[in-house]
Structure 1
Amino acid sequence: MATGYRPEIVQRAFVDFIGSRLHPFRSLTTPKLRLVERYDLSDDLIALRFETNRAFRQQTNGAKSGWQGGQYIDLRVLIDGIYHQRSYSLVGLANQPLWWHDATVDIDVDVDVDNNPIKSKRHTVTLAIKPQGMVSHYSTKHLPIGATINTSIPRGHFTLAQSLMTAQREASDREHSDKENFQKNTLLFIAGGSGITPMLGLITQALEDQHQVVLLHYNRSALAAFTQQWQQLIALYPNSFRYHLINTKDQNSYLSGSRHLTTDSLLSLNLPWADTQIFACGSQALLAGLYQAATDITLPQGQSLRDSITIENFGSALADISFDRHQTGDKAVDIQEHTIYLRARQRQFSSDTTLLVAAERENIRLAYGCRQGVCQLCRCNKVSGVVKNIQTGRLSGDGYEPIQTCINVAMTDVVLDI
């Protein structure tokens, strides 16, 4: 009997279409979330807890524990007949209860292969959102309990694994590199305001992996809800975790007498900077202060602390590159014109600014969203060439890797998989 390709008699997409009309939450292929609860974490931060459908769970089974700390999901929210997509960081880790609820009540009724009812633990994800902007305000204030929305699976590179790969790659270029040291290096987490949300999962995961962890959280209030989480971690890991909550309105909480992140405030932590990886999520001012402080701290063997920073920013960070060819100063860089080739479209254009702006200047439309490096909608794969991130100043490798066109400029000729 001949074997080989056998077309589906009934397409899964058709089954999904019919099923969505009968039960909007169920799907064979589309990850979906159903809102089950809201929590007020502070005056300007609201947690939304969603139940996941089977497609979401199946598609995240390949990831460790469902997803990595620091990742995000894209929500597709229907408002006044129009779908809007936004990215939000996941709070905590999969299968680990958060401090404000008891996981024992999360029991859901499912069915087995013979359609018999069985009890299973409800699988949920939690997002912490500031109710500002159209989509965030609608989601936190008006989205009905029980509403179903489409989502992506968890994604993103603001993770321990990504930082470890970066550290090992940089160490391989230095003499006497010891990759085992990076398995237990010190991790510094710096957050501003709601930038703390992706940190919960990252910090928990880092402590489980036996890292030394230090947290700096800059905020205009105490955020007592999160303080409870940090106290729980202190109790579990008394020798591995310490934190500093800097209330920018309370001088008693300042580091080195400053409400801002400065070189002195970093040095006051007494960390082994040559073996420290930094994760940061915050505003333009916070990230700008961090990069300036990292520049001022001298490391041995020609290392740069700036290269040890991984960011996930919800604002546009201070550009590290000036596009003014006539400007002088340390941060002014003469950006040369390079050729950008779009492999799938067989198109090319010249660029002396961000890849997105240069393409639009040539009437070439590329996907984009916020244009600030936040929403990830402009992300694409670079096939070859070197680009520079204008927010972090970091140079890419010259091989295949994902980049964002709105915040990268070409330093050589570049081929994009677009």
Structure 2
Amino acid sequence: MKKIIVHCEQEITQMALVEQDQLVEFTSENSQGRQLVGNLYKGRVVNVLPGMQAAFVDIGLKKNAFLYVDDVLHPHLEKQPKIKPSISELLQVGQEIVVQVMKEPLGGKGARVTTHYSLPGRWLVYMPHADYIGVSKKIELEAERLRLKHIGDHARLSGEGIILRTVAEGESKEAIQSDLQLLRALWIQIEQRAAVSTAPVQLHQDLNIIERLVRDMFTSHTERVIIDDPVQGEQVASFLTQVSPEWSSRVQIYKGNEPIFQHYRIKEELDRAYQHKIWLENGGYLVFDHTEALTVIDVNTGKFIGSNTLEETVYETNIQAAKEIARLLRLRDIGGIIIIDFIDMNVERHRQDILDMLEQWMKNDRTKHLILGWTKLGLLEMTRKKVRDHALNSFLEPCNTCKGTGTVFTKR
């Protein structure tokens, strides 16, 4: 079962997701700096770069947004030309264009935007121009996949695209159709605003953090939402009543004397999860090292000496490491290329077991990821989509002494 724990302050809201008594996700949002992903803007093209097959678009933020050629072509791959045209054939400087943020500004880079518009609802994601039906891969029963695809195909209009979300499993045709109608009406409003607005201007803002968590994370498997703000708690209960009346009773207002994150040991778990060196239950440990695009995770036996053979000792450590890595990738929201240096195993079946178990434990991750497998050097390679800077990074800063390297030169 899952618990969602929400801490509200005047300027910031923080959310923690706990599964089977383990912290697996954490996010926060400043009231003055809400996330940009999902927002739609009418922007103006300010630069077209054929050499990069990209353009920069002014959407009214400090830095111009980056628009790649693939995000200008038709969202349906089968409808794209076999040979990509030059970006200069698709866009001109001064042209006004509606774009949607798909990646937050990170470091010195501006936001990445797309013309592949998508509006998430409770049961589905609506894509006004995608012209295809998709069903979440996490819905494994083929009969249910076919049922949902049939519902979506009959409900959509020509040219529209729909992706049925995981939570749509078992949901009624009427609920799915109602969700689609609401999203379609929202898109019509966005188009109408765009027609009468001058760029750069914001056309649509995605929901705030609490509204998103209810939309995206609350399911029949969610035991409780525990929140320390009565007003926000009432809003969550009201939203849940619209989805399923009996769910509103699962909202609990926290009234304890100590801070909510301290009471549920969220702060303690965050402190541990963000260490450079993280100990496993059996005495082994993980070491995390980051660059801008790459994260390397090293697995070590540490204090664990095992009880039988060296191969079994290594295998047991790697199993614990794989499970903890799957959790920490979600919790630390690590994106980009990820290389895991598991301890070398001589038995091929053990290597396959580690790969299979990591894939199984990663199924709960809502962020798109791909496990590529073992490299020739015996490293496990995977990728995980990076959409935004992690919530905790706003509370961290590089050490003034080592400047983020973790080491300093000795006196000579």
Band the TM-score falls in, shorter-chain normalisation:
under 0.3
Give the TM-score normalised by structure 1.
0.27
Which gives a bigger RCO, structure 1 or 2 (Cα 8 Å, sep 6+)?
A: 2
| TM-score normalised to structure 2 length | 0.27
